[in-house]
Structure 1
């Protein structure tokens, strides 16, 4: 098939998201795949000198950066208006002035038409009418309207769900949030998966870890308002014998917040290819979630990535994660309970191979099979 993803995150970003994995697996199966992410606009040039992410996106637009997966076309198009301007206009007029032309990308892949369009980014509303694919599926990965506080996103999602042929949700709360827009639409609940072989294949201990004493607890991901920094700080205070390794882009606020704690190691962002080595040489993984609205509908890929590396995970209770009943997840409710749950989980000495096998059934190839079966039935 000719398949197009309309995603929120470009391939090659510091964050590897579900659409990247799905695109790669579909390409492996012989499908022709274009991965399009949120467009650039002339307004982005105002931030160009200070924003590394925007600089990288312009490189991809100019064709100056090789594709992550050579046979998947990684497209960042150019448009006139960013969503910050186009969104409010869309809410009033139902016309999306952010929509880019994708004719050039389709010519590059010799696509005369699109069989399957998967929209992860609601800002692409209207693309389904522009491209006219045989089947369009909306695949939200978060409760975007609550996460952003942007009313124009809710308007975009309402329109999308009146036009698309299917809704694929990565979590129960996301499905519950959106289904009222179109209660009769065919749905599939398909949680995010894991690149199992990548995370389970044994890797040498990174030199950076060698001087960090054990036991080691690790968090990998964004350091933003969705992460409970207070819980991590409390853990470091109450368990000074535990080394807490944090991998992800570090801002000055985080550095100052943990400045007085000698057992917290902020290692910065790491290439996706090297992350398994860091995980495999730690003892336990952490996912302390804040009370931010975005966390209610999250389907964190890192849970299964942690598990594929053999790590039990201490995580904040959410209805979605409790629903999954994964044996390698150890829950706590309040920040004050976090250190005790970490201590108890460490004392259990979970068998790493058992944990890995629990993650294996969530490999991306099985997720793709379920998704394509759903699309074929539409």
Structure 2
């Protein structure tokens, strides 16, 4: 804490000079900046936040504030700008703090961020309601809650999460939801919520339809190959994966992605199951190009009740037939429209994969896929969100909403 106080006591003219040299005034870039509070790491997996906020950063400054890293003796912020224009902000805190001390220090660090970057006209964008504990004193131009998961259903969810989410649903100017099931659940608490399901970066994943060099760690694996990319956590039905591998030892199952929140020792170990680890977003099409079928072997439990997997349209854009378990937001619309095969038992899952390997309807199926994917894109989704945010900012300004000068908070 003393370091933060010492930093604030530095000569004002020196700090102003540094800011003038390093940071463009926010008004020169856009009418507002955006500060995102997230429970996710920017560099973990490339998904909804990255798609949306990288587009937001084309027109304004965007600061992506991650959950703190524990262990540093001196509280500090580590800021790094990504090629897409987003500045990733990582708080570093001592490891021996209780919840109240953590939120007090995070509040100070966020205040410093706003002051140092001259963030006086900004929108707050939440992915985690828990951030209300250290940002509730701020007065942004508008507040957005982009609800992409039912976080309370995840393992290890904080006890205060549900109460804080209710507060955020009640007070946010805008609530966006990432899938229809989630939308229907949140609409009961926030009737004005907006549904923005997962979109698709079609040109990126369409590259998987072309012939290309195989990644070295996949090239020698046998065929047919059935692949999955994404986080491997409590949402994956490991028993289904193991049983399917046992039923078809001639199939090769490729699992691409990081293991999170589960013991790696719990992963089924079979000669025909291969865990290749996390891969950069840019390399995913090269891996998918070497698969014969794409898989979504999700468990049917509380943690998957409201998910709307972004990988569904990404698999389809890649031109790979898809077999998935009966996740509600996959069954409707993808299963209903005949774009994805739905199966829950190991025998049915394997049978669906066998049918997917048959090329009889491939050309017709690809036409259906491309027609479906043409309905939306991340560019279109962000344009609609940006329009709503602009309207909320204008409405709040017209109403004369009071503001707090971040430089004056303590």
Q: What is the Cα deviation at residue 332 of structure 1? A: 1.4
Q: Distance in 2 between matches of 1:256 and 1:298?
A: 23
- Equivalent in the alignment of 2:174: 166
- Show structure 2 runs of 5+ residues with no match: 1-31, 393-410
Residue correspondence of structure 1 range 1-16 to structure 2 within 5 A: 1-13=32-44, 15-16=45-46
Q: What is the Cα deviation at residue 345 of structure 1? A: 1.8
8 Å contact from structure 1 (residues 309, 356) kept in 2: no
1:207-241 deviation digits (Å, cap 9, x = unpaired)? 22221122211011222221011111121122222
- Equivalent in the alignment of 2:287: 278
- Equivalent in the alignment of 1:24: 54
Residue correspondence of structure 1 range 224-243 to structure 2 within 5 A: 224-243=233-252
Bigger shift: 246-255 or 272-281? 246-255
Which of 124, 129, 132 is the equivalent residue of 1:125?
132
- Equivalent in the alignment of 2:148: 141
Name the SS for the 1:311 alignment partner.
Answer: coil
Q: Distance in 2 between matches of 1:140 and 1:81?
A: 29
Q: Distance in 1 between matches of 2:65 and 2:170?
A: 22
8 Å contact from structure 2 (residues 71, 92) kept in 1: no
Q: Distance in 2 between matches of 1:193 and 1:377?
A: 23
Cα RMSD (Å): 3.1
Q: What is the Cα deviation at residue 369 of structure 1? A: 1.2
Q: Distance in 1 between matches of 2:190 and 2:268?
A: 46
1:212 and 2:241 correspond:
no
Bigger shift: 320-329 or 213-222? 320-329
Q: Distance in 2 between matches of 1:23 and 1:358?
A: 24
Name the SS for the 2:188 alignment partner.
Answer: helix
Give the count of matched residue pairs. Answer: 349
- Equivalent in the alignment of 1:69: 83
- Show structure 1 runs of 5+ residues with no match: 49-57
Name the SS for the 1:218 alignment partner.
Answer: strand
Give TM-score scaled by structure 1 length: 0.81
Q: What is the Cα deviation at residue 277 of structure 1? A: 0.5
Structure 1 pair 363/108, CA: closer, same or farther in 2 (3 Å)?
farther
The higher radius of gyration belongs to: 2
Q: Distance in 1 between matches of 2:39 and 2:301?
A: 20
Q: What is the Cα deviation at residue 127 of structure 1? A: 5.6
Q: What is the Cα deviation at residue 21 of structure 1? A: 1.4
1:181-206 deviation digits (Å, cap 9, x = unpaired)? 344xx211101223332222355321
1:236-278 deviation digits (Å, cap 9, x = unpaired)? 122222211111235896567543x322222122222211110
1:136-189 deviation digits (Å, cap 9, x = unpaired)? 121111111122454311011111122111211112222233333344xx2111
Structure 1 pair 344/205, CA: closer, same or farther in 2 (3 Å)?
same
Q: Distance in 2 between matches of 1:173 and 1:373?
A: 24
Q: Distance in 2 between matches of 1:282 and 1:359?
A: 21
Q: Distance in 1 between matches of 2:93 and 2:71?
A: 12
